[in-house]
């Protein structure tokens, strides 16, 4: 096993431990509702910690969820970056009538993808 592989394995193990012990307990109905009410702006310490954790892999582009405005001032859809330069994101059928609703949609999808929320 190369040094890089050992480092990545150690990082992944630590990340899983942080997710299970520090982040998952913070993901409650109250946090979900707080984000739904105000997805952009100042948040409680608990929600801010969850958001920072969700954003931690900002350098990784493939599979990253983004919001695309498909109809100016009318429709925002969730899309996924391909990670290939010059290739457009893959639009999903999940669309919203406001940016705030779209931000909350991405939040919920990230939580679900990580197994932090199942509803």
In this structure, is residue 7 part of a structural domain?
A: yes
Residue 15: predicted pLDDT? 83
Residue 1: predicted pLDDT? 52
In this structure, is residue 78 part of a structural domain?
A: yes
> What span, in angstroms and rounded, lies between the C-alpha atoms of 45 and 50?
9
Query: How many structural domains does the chain have?
Result: 1
- Residue showing tokens 């969850």: 50
Tokens representing 9 are 């394995």
Tell me which H or E stretch contains 29. Answer: helix 29-37
Burial 78-102 (b: 16+ CB within 10 A, else e): bbebeeeeeeebeeeeebbeeebeb
> What span, in angstroms and rounded, lies between the C-alpha atoms of 107 and 113?
10
Banded model confidence at residue 5, pLDDT cuts 50, 70, 90: confident
Could you read off the pLDDT of 94-119 as tens digits, one per residue?
Answer: 999 999 999 999 999 999 998 999 87
Across the range 42-51, mean pLDDT stands at: 96
- Cβ atoms of 91 and 116 closer than 8 Å: no
* Three-state secondary structure call for residue 93: strand
In this structure, is residue 118 part of a structural domain?
A: no
> What span, in angstroms and rounded, lies between the C-alpha atoms of 102 and 66?
9
* Range of the structural domain that residue 42 is part of: 3-113
Q: What are phi and psi of 89, to 5 degrees?
A: -65, 155
């Amino acid at each position: 096993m190369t040094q890089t592989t050992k480092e990545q394995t150690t990082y992944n193990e630590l990340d899983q431990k942080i997710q299970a012990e520090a982040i998952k307990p913070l993901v409650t109905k109250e946090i979900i509702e707080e984000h739904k009410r105000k997805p952009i702006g100042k948040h409680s310490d608990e929600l801010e910690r969850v958001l920072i954790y969700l954003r931690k892999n900002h350098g990784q582009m493939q599979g990253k969820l983004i919001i695309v405005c498909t109809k100016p001032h009318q429709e925002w859809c969730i899309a996924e970056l391909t990670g290939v330069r010059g290739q457009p994101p893959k639009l999903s059928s999940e669309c919203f009538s406001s940016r705030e609703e779209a931000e909350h949609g991405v939040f919920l999808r990230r939580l679900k993808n990580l197994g932090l929320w199942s509803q």
